Amino acid sequence: MGTGTHMSDAQQMTSVQRGGFHSPEQEWPDATDEMRPRPDHGEQSYEGHQRLKGLRALITGGDSGIGRAVAIAFAREGAAGVAISYLPVEQQDAEETASWVQDAGATAVLVPGDLTDEDVCKRVVDVAVGELGGLDILVNNAGFHLATGDAGTVQGLQPETVHRVLNANFEAVLWVTQAALPHLREGSAIINTSSIQSYEPSGHLLDYAATKAAINSITVNLAEQLGPQGIRVNAVAPGPIGTPLQPATREPEDLESFGSETPLGRAGQPAEVAPAYVFLASPRDASYVSGTILGVTGGRATF
């Protein structure tokens, strides 16, 4: 557990409504238990309505943050199984997510691996398909950015950081999707995680914002390519969301006002983003929705 100051539920909600949150300084990879207030992934609040009954999903970056919230929501919507890919060092978070998936009555499959390696991308899909017996939904959610100091400015770019951002955010989407495609069928869904940064790029997130703009292009392109096969491809573009990646890759002083620039005046919670993924995954609710980037941004424009 972290050593930061613990706050009551009421204090945590007040902090969230202001838009900021507090966290002891930590380095990437991130950890959910280090965050104050702890993010809401829908553990106590999400109620499912069998929108995804019997379907099988793979969620990359499913151990924490938005990925965890989506995994919980999918399981409570009746998914038969949810496979979660994650970095091996994030085992604790992954196991906690798996326990919530299992509590909802779904099979949980944990697949550790670094998706910046093309071979790992293929192996993750193979394991997920093998353990779940097939695949109906792919969520390309894993991602990385670094916004400490001048790391995301043109002056501060470092090859190792840029390579990780490009590989994790852009190339992994291509390789995981390529590996998953032979297992998808008519009615299947691919959902990519874009960002408000693809529309309103911050000057200190040069490389990250570029990859998210590329995700939008990939999404529309794949929707056109795969539409004849009956496979829908969409993306969700979150705004500022309180996930472990933020305190692990941002300056501490940035966290206090994180999200306050949105019209709603606060950061969002992972649980507030998950329903967008459920909608796009649902063959009942989104059967004619493809090539769409759905913004969940607290009021910031995504066009």
Query: Considering the chain, what percentage of its residues have pLDDT values greater than 70?
Result: 84
Residue 251 confidence class, pLDDT cut points 50, 70, 90: low
**Contact criterion met (CB below 8 Å) for 74 and 57:** yes
Cite the active site residues: 208
So what CATH class is 50-296? alpha beta
Q: What pLDDT does 303 receive?
A: 82
217 burial level (CB within 10 Å; 0-12, 13-18, 19+): exposed
Residue 19 confidence class, pLDDT cut points 50, 70, 90: very low
Residue 2 confidence class, pLDDT cut points 50, 70, 90: very low
In terms of Cα–Cα distance, which of 236, 57, 220 is closest to 143?
Answer: 236
* 115-158: pLDDT as tens digits: 999 999 999 999 999 999 999 999 999 999 777 777 778 887 88
Q: What pLDDT does 15 receive?
A: 39
Q: What pLDDT does 165 receive?
A: 94
Query: Considering the chain, what percentage of its residues have pLDDT values greater than 90?
Result: 71
HEC readout, 27-55: CCCCCHHHCECCCCCCCCCCCCCCCCCCC
* 48-96: pLDDT as tens digits: 999 999 999 999 999 999 999 999 999 999 999 999 999 999 999 999 9
Q: What pLDDT does 246 receive?
A: 60
Average pLDDT over residues 32-61: 90
Would you tell me how many other CB atoms lie within 10 Å of the CB of residue 49? 13
Rounded mean pLDDT of the chain?
Answer: 87
* 189-214: pLDDT as tens digits: 999 999 999 999 987 889 999 999 99
Average pLDDT over residues 167-177: 97
CA dihedral 4, 260, 168, 199 (to 10 degrees): 180
CA dihedral 293, 267, 47, 285 (to 10 degrees): -10
Asked whether the predicted pLDDT for residue 282 surpasses 60, the reply is yes
**pTM for the full predicted model:** 0.87
CA distance 232 to 173: 15
Q: What pLDDT does 150 receive?
A: 78
Give me the phi and psi of 117, to 5 degrees please: -100, 120
- DSSP structure class, residue 83: E
